[in-house]
């Protein structure tokens, strides 16, 4: 917990909150909710949304609501949170049980959840300002905002919405390479039908490649 506080640059008044924020449900009894990070994650998700929207309104005063929404989605999506959590080392500090499946996808999902649970824990421990300082410093100012806002995943989602289709579903179908240089394979389906496959060094990158393949396929069939 001391290492976690050093990373967070925040010292807890109630360290039990920090312990919960780092504890995966595989450790606890499922009939006793509240002993793992899930409830804190629920709160942290809302705090992250609020601070991100507040930050974007200040940073981009001339942008439309639609553009701000796309920026917000890019920041709060699980892939981005996971990358920051792994960069900070929260994946190493997580307390997991023997039933936890340490696959690439499970580890990324858990690390993203822990980022949100830590935000929730800080919020409960000392309020919004402390949570805001961590979010701005380690997520908002560290997120890559250099890519095009109209990315392939957004375009594919907008296409499905315009056509009255269910939203695309992405699934991890492969992982290879060493832990320090992994390659993920993601398959995207639309209405239960295969639409495309992509690979990349992160799940987010692989999802983007899969969406690109799906868009090209749709262009040929329209």
Q: Write out the E strands in the chain.
A: 169-176, 183-190, 193-200
Which residues have a Cβ under 8 Å from the Cβ of 204 and sit 6 or more positions away?
Answer: 77, 79, 80, 83
Q: Single out the residue of 137, 75, 95, 82 nearest to residue 4, CA to CA.
A: 95
Q: What is the dihedral of CA 95, 178, 197, 161, to 10 degrees?
A: 30
Of these residues, 45, 91, 138, 212, which one is catalytic? 45
Of these residues, 83, 91, 108, 116, which one is catalytic? 116
Active-site residue flag, 116:
yes
Active-site residue flag, 36:
no
**Do residues 209 and 200 make contact, with C-beta atoms less than 8 angstroms apart?**
yes
Catalytic residues: 45, 116
């Amino acid at each position: 917990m001391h290492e976690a506080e050093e990373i967070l640059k925040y010292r807890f008044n109630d360290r039990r909150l920090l312990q919960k924020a780092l504890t995966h449900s595989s450790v606890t009894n499922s009939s006793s909710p509240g002993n793992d990070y899930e409830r804190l994650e629920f709160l942290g998700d809302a705090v992250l949304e609020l601070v991100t929207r507040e930050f974007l309104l200040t940073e981009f005063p001339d942008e439309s609501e639609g553009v701000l929404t796309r920026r917000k989605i890019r920041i709060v999506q699980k892939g981005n949170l996971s990358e920051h959590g792994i960069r900070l080392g929260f994946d190493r500090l997580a307390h997991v049980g023997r039933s936890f499946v340490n696959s690439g996808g499970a580890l990324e999902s858990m690390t993203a959840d822990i980022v949100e649970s830590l935000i929730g824990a800080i919020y409960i421990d000392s309020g919004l300002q402390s949570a805001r300082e961590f979010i701005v410093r380690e997520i908002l100012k560290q997120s890559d905002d250099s890519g095009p806002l109209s990315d392939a995943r957004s375009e594919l989602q907008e296409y499905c919405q315009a056509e009255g289709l269910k939203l695309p579903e992405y699934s991890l179908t492969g992982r290879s390479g060493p832990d320090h240089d992994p390659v993920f394979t993601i398959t995207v389906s639309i209405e239960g039908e295969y639409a495309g496959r992509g690979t990349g060094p992160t799940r987010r990158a692989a999802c983007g490649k899969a969406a690109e393949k799906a868009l090209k396929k749709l262009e040929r069939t329209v």
